[in-house]
């Protein structure tokens, strides 16, 4: 056994101090490492939770996508079925249109085809329909014009008949005046009434001729009455004028 001389107290204190510093530094490093590991563990837990949530969300999205894909497949199948039905409907519609076209051709051209060896084009059919329509419109216009002219003719005939009756009534009144009173004053009233009688052609022409005749007769009667008054021959009565005198002259 080797005996060593005892170390001085200052050396021991220095060693203890150095050891304490090393130990403190080691503990500090261990604490830092523990803190870092804890933080890393927390981050890993958080990342794991996020990843789990993302995985769950992705699983839900995948399930929803699968459902959408299945729904789209069903819709595509349904649309294909509908397209088949639309194809049948289009075929039926085309058949109906062709039948309607043939009926229009028969109604437009009649039984005789204009081009026996050639089919009628749509343009030819449209032109023919336009021509038939215009002919029908012209016929209806002529028919309406004829009906209107007939109505006007009937109305004109009725108006002429009424005017003739009015003129005949006025002439009867003039004749009665000349037979009863034969007075220029009364005859002038009848002539004025006849002059203001509202009649239309051709009766108005006859009215003018009658007025001319009556005016000449009125003028002659006025001259005769004046001549008789100048001769001192009074009228037989105020109502009859010179009727008695003319009657005796005729007799």
Residue 112's pLDDT is 63
Q: Which band of pLDDT confidence, cut at 50, 70 and 90, is reported for residue 234?
A: low
Q: Which band of pLDDT confidence, cut at 50, 70 and 90, is reported for residue 3?
A: very low
Residue 7's pLDDT is 52
Instruction: Please tell me whether the overall predicted TM-score, pTM, comes out greater than 0.75 for this model.
Output: no
Residue 70's pLDDT is 86
Which residue in the block uniquely carries the two structure tokens 């062709």?
98
The tokens for 227 are 């001549």
Residues 132-141 pLDDT 10s:
778 878 888 8
Report, as an integer, the average pLDDT of 186-209: 83
Report, as an integer, the average pLDDT of 159-182: 80
Residue 243's pLDDT is 46
Judge whether residue 251 has pLDDT over 50: no
Residue 99's pLDDT is 79
Closest CA to 189 of 241, 126, 112, 122: 241
Q: Which band of pLDDT confidence, cut at 50, 70 and 90, is reported for residue 115?
A: low
Residue 2's pLDDT is 47
Residues 42-93 pLDDT 10s:
888 887 788 777 878 878 888 888 888 888 888 888 777 777 777 777 787 7
User: For the stretch 133-167, what's the b/e string if a residue is b when 16 or more beta carbons lie within 10 angstroms of its beta carbon?
Assistant: eeeeeeeeeeeeeeeeeeeeeeeeeeeeeebeebb
Residue 34's pLDDT is 86
Residues 5-34 pLDDT 10s:
555 556 777 777 777 787 788 888 888 888
Residues 97-113 pLDDT 10s:
787 777 777 777 776 66
Residue 65's pLDDT is 82
């Amino acid at each position: 056994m080797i005996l060593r001389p005892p170390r001085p107290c200052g050396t021991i204190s220095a060693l203890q101090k150095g050891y304490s510093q090393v130990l403190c530094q080691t503990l500090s490093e261990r604490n830092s490492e523990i803190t870092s590991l804890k933080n890393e563990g927390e981050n890993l837990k958080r990342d794991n939770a996020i990843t789990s949530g993302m995985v769950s969300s992705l699983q839900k999205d995948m399930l929803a996508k699968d459902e959408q894909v299945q729904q789209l497949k069903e819709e595509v199948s349904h649309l294909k079925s509908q397209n088949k039905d639309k194809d049948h409907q289009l075929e039926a519609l085309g058949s109906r249109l062709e039948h309607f076209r043939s009926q229009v051709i028969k109604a437009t051209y009649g039984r005789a085809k204009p081009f026996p060896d050639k089919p009628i084009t749509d343009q030819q059919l449209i032109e023919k329909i336009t021509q038939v329509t215009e002919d029908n419109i012209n016929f209806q216009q002529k028919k309406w014009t004829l009906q209107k002219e007939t109505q006007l003719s009937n109305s004109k005939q009725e108006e002429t008949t009424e005017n003739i009756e009015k003129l005949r009534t006025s002439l009867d009144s003039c004749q009665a005046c000349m037979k009863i009173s034969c007075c220029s004053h009364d005859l002038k009233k009848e002539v004025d009434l006849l002059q203001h009688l509202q009649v239309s052609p051709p009766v108005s022409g006859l009215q003018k001729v009658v007025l001319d005749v009556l005016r000449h007769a009125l003028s002659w009667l006025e001259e005769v009455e004046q001549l008789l008054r100048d001769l001192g021959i009074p009228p037989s009565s105020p109502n009859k004028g010179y009727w008695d005198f003319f009657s005796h002259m005729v007799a």
